[in-house]
Structure 1
Amino acid sequence: MKPESAVTLLAALAQNSRLALFRLLVQKGPEGMPAGEIAEHLGVAPNTLSFHLKELSNAGLLKSRQEGRFVYYAPDFKAMNGLLAYLTENCCGGVTTAPSNSCKEC
């Protein structure tokens, strides 16, 4: 991962509501959640949620899919794990080790 990409991903997460949103979706897993359910769970107004979903999606941290009249959002585990790998690639004196609790979805 290039440093510029890492900065983009980290900047998208550097806000309380977006971080809570991303963590919620990571907990939910690859099936994701519909936008209305996310708004209800986080207690966020729909227009505010739309803004945060757009920011995370534009950064490449979320994927979306249409099912009927609902849009489901899910984390992009490949992007998340790529960021974690980038952040930890030189840990432990340069010995490459995967984070012990990294997601195995990708």
Structure 2
Amino acid sequence: MDELAALRALGALSQPTRLQCFRLLVTREPDGVPAGELARLVGVPQNTLSTHLAILANAGLVHGERHSRSIIYRANFDRLRELVLFLLKDCCGGRAELCAPLIADLSPCCPAKEPVQETTHD
């Protein structure tokens, strides 16, 4: 990700309704949310939400897929990963002990698994 793309993504997330939409879409993966339901959940008119979703989509953070008469919106985790990696590039000057707590905090839903110790039976 280049600096301009990062600024576009950060700018898209810098508005309360768009941030709320994006965070809500993240929680609804992998199913996504129909546009009408998303408008209801964030408490904005559908035409207002449409503008916000267009800004998020232009930044690559969400994408919509037509299903019959509705559009299902989903968060773009690949773009989110690119943004986070852009922000953390060269994290802590390469000192792993400084980055480890930050990286652990970035994965609260998926804690690292403890290595399984093999047992031998005599």
Same fold (TM over 0.5): yes
The aligned residue for residue 71 of structure 1 is 71
The runs of at least 4 consecutive aligned structure 1 residues that moved more than 2 Å come to 92-100
Deviations 1:73-101 (A, max 9, x none): 00110000110111111222225768331
Shift of 1:103: 8.3
What value does the CA root-mean-square deviation take over the aligned residues?
A: 2.0
Measured in 2, the distance between the counterparts of 1:25 and 1:55 equals: 15
What is the TM-score of this pair, normalised by structure 2? 0.77
Structure with bigger gyration radius: 2
| SS of aligned partner of 1:19 | helix
Listed as ranges, the gaps of 5+ residues in structure 2 are: 111-122
Q: Distance in 2 between matches of 1:6 and 1:79?
A: 10
Q: Are 1:89 and 2:89 an aligned pair?
A: yes
Aligned counterparts of 1:19 and 1:102: Cα–Cα separation in 2:
19
Aligned letter for 1:57? A
TM-score by length of 1: 0.88
Deviations 1:21-79 (A, max 9, x none): 00000011132100011011111111110000010011111111111111000011000
* Matching residue of 2:17: 17
Match of 1:33 in 2: 33
1:71 to 1:63, Cα distance in 2 relative to 1, 3 A: same
Percent identity over the alignment? 41
- Aligned mates of 1:102, 1:56 — CA distance in 2: 24
Q: How many residues are aligned here?
A: 104
Structure 2 Cα separation of the partners of residues 94 and 85 of structure 1: 14
1:24–1:83 distance in 2 versus 1, CA, 3 Å:
same
* Structure 1 alignment gaps of length 5 or more: none
